[in-house]
Amino acid sequence: MNLNEHYADKKTLVTGGAGFIGAHLCEGLLDCGAEVYCLDNFSAGHLSNIKEFFNNPKFHIIAKDVCDRDGEMELLFEGLHAVFNNAASKKNICLANPQKDLQVNAGGTLNLLELAMKHGVSKFVHASTGSVYGEPSLFPTTEAHPLAPVSYYGVSKLAGERYVDVFHRLYGLDTTILRYFHVYGPKQESNEFGGVVSIFLRKIIEGNNPVVFGHGEQVRSFTWVKDLVTANLRAGAYPSARGKAYNAASGIRVTINELANNMIKYMSMEKRLCVEHAAPLVGDIMEFDVSNEAIRKDLNIEFNQDFWGTLEFSIRDSKHFLNR
């Protein structure tokens, strides 16, 4: 399928569009010729992530919350072709405020689904997380694995998934769920709300030891952000994705210790750094050995397997974003 032909001049909405993944998705849609509405409340998103699109007449910023329900939101959904819901309350925020977490990840999703149904939106692509599986017991973990989250974040994201599934089954809304795993790449936040790659990056650049929670043998399936853009674009266009949930993951296996030690080796030129260990995080999952067979088959995606090469690219690109 030609994605440029599919999305050309179509009105699309990216929620959380000023965030790390959302900004890359906005770029991907613009490259396909879509009219892109970037909705963000800027609690975590940054204008610096999307400033390169300001002069594009097809790019529009909507400074609102996914929980809002007013005339402006109704107008936004008129004539809308597709919603890409990437707005979320992040895992570390969920620990401190689980009610806010549920409000955004479940209630906000429900609000968007109701608006999508009311206004006849053609496609709803929903970003979820591998955390909905909890501590996996079957490897490699497929989409058929039981869903048993062990964190507030996983519970709230599963609630959002359930709403998406209900709107597909009861009302025929064309939906696709993408379960993200350990995404990394340019524009990722490097503060405490970012991913482990960018957090380690900031620590090392500032001459501080990276801190690993627990023993560090936790296995992760780090996934290049550009691959998630491809997954979203194809999920929004391919009929084979209708009503499906997919593991959007590279399938590679890297431990947190391997990540930290290799980043130190690559980056620390003057001051010798080492890994520090701290108490394990509540709800931290030990192992992700993820199957991406279904998404590769249905959406014809090949995920980047050169983790260390793309990581070096992220490091070179990072300094611009470390002042946030």
For residues 207 and 142, membership in a common domain is answered with no
Q: pLDDT tens digits for 68-114? A: 999 999 999 999 999 999 999 876 677 788 999 999 999 999 999 99
Average pLDDT score over residue span 262-289: 88
Domain hosting residue 16, numbered range: 3-183+223-248+290-304
Q: Is residue 295 part of a domain?
A: yes
| 146 and 207 co-located in one domain | no
Q: Identify whether 7 is part of a domain.
A: yes
Which residue in 7, 37, 152, 153 is the catalytic one? 153
* 190, part of any domain: no
- Give me the pLDDT at residue 218, please: 97
Is residue 121 over pLDDT 70? yes
- Same structural domain, 240 and 315: no
Q: What is the mean pLDDT of residues 237-251?
A: 99
Same domain, 167 and 278: no
Asked whether residue 189 is assigned to any structural domain, the reply reads no
**Both 244 and 143 in a single domain?**
yes
Q: Is residue 188 part of a domain?
A: no
Give the pLDDT score at 164. 99
Residue 23, helix vs strand vs coil: helix
| Whether residue 319 has pLDDT greater than 60 | no
pTM check: above 0.85: yes
- The answer to whether residues 106 and 150 belong to one domain is yes
Catalytic residue at 153? yes
pLDDT score, position 313: 84
Q: Could you give the C-alpha distances from 304 to 11, 96, 148, 221, 251, in angstroms and in order? A: 29, 34, 28, 11, 9
* Band of pLDDT at residue 322, cut at 50, 70 and 90: low
Tokens of 38: 């970037």
Based on the domain organization, do 96 and 242 belong to the same domain?
yes
Looking at residue 318, what is its pLDDT? 67
Judge whether residue 234 has pLDDT over 70.
Answer: yes
Judge if 8 and 147 occupy the same domain. yes
Q: Is residue 191 part of a domain?
A: no
Q: pLDDT band at residue 194, thresholds of 50, 70 and 90?
A: confident
Q: Is residue 300 part of a domain?
A: yes
pLDDT at 94: 72
CATH number at residue 201: 3.90.25.10
Indicate if the pLDDT at residue 222 is higher than 80.
yes
The strand pair at 219-220 and 254-255 is best described as antiparallel
Q: What percent of the chain has pLDDT over 90?
A: 86
Based on the fold, state whether residues 212 and 237 are members of the same structural domain.
no
Is the pLDDT confidence value at 324 over 60? no
- Cβ count within 10 A of residue 271: 9
Same domain, 18 and 96: yes
- Read off the amino acid at residue 284: D
Q: What percentage of the chain reaches a pLDDT higher than 70?
A: 97
Q: Write down the pLDDT at residue 99.
A: 94
- Say whether both 25 and 174 belong to one domain: yes
Q: Render pLDDT for 144-174 as a digit per residue (tens, 0 to 9).
A: 999 999 999 999 999 999 999 999 999 999 9
- Give the least confident one: 138-147, 159-168, 176-185, 273-282: 273-282
**108 and 83 together in one domain:** yes
Higher pLDDT, 206 or 34: 34
Predicted pLDDT at 272? 86
Distance between CA atoms of residues 91 and 75, nearest Å? 31
pLDDT of residue 294: 99
Helix (H, G, I), strand (E, B) or coil at 48: helix
Mean pLDDT computed over 271-284: 90
Domain CATH code at residue 236: 3.40.50.720
pLDDT at position 26 is 99
Q: Is residue 42 part of a domain?
A: yes
Number of domains, the chain: 2
Closest CA relative to residue 27, chosen from 152, 185, 170: 185
Q: State residue 92's pLDDT score.
A: 67
Segment 21-47 mean pLDDT: 98
Lowest mean pLDDT among 54-58, 135-139, 203-207: 203-207
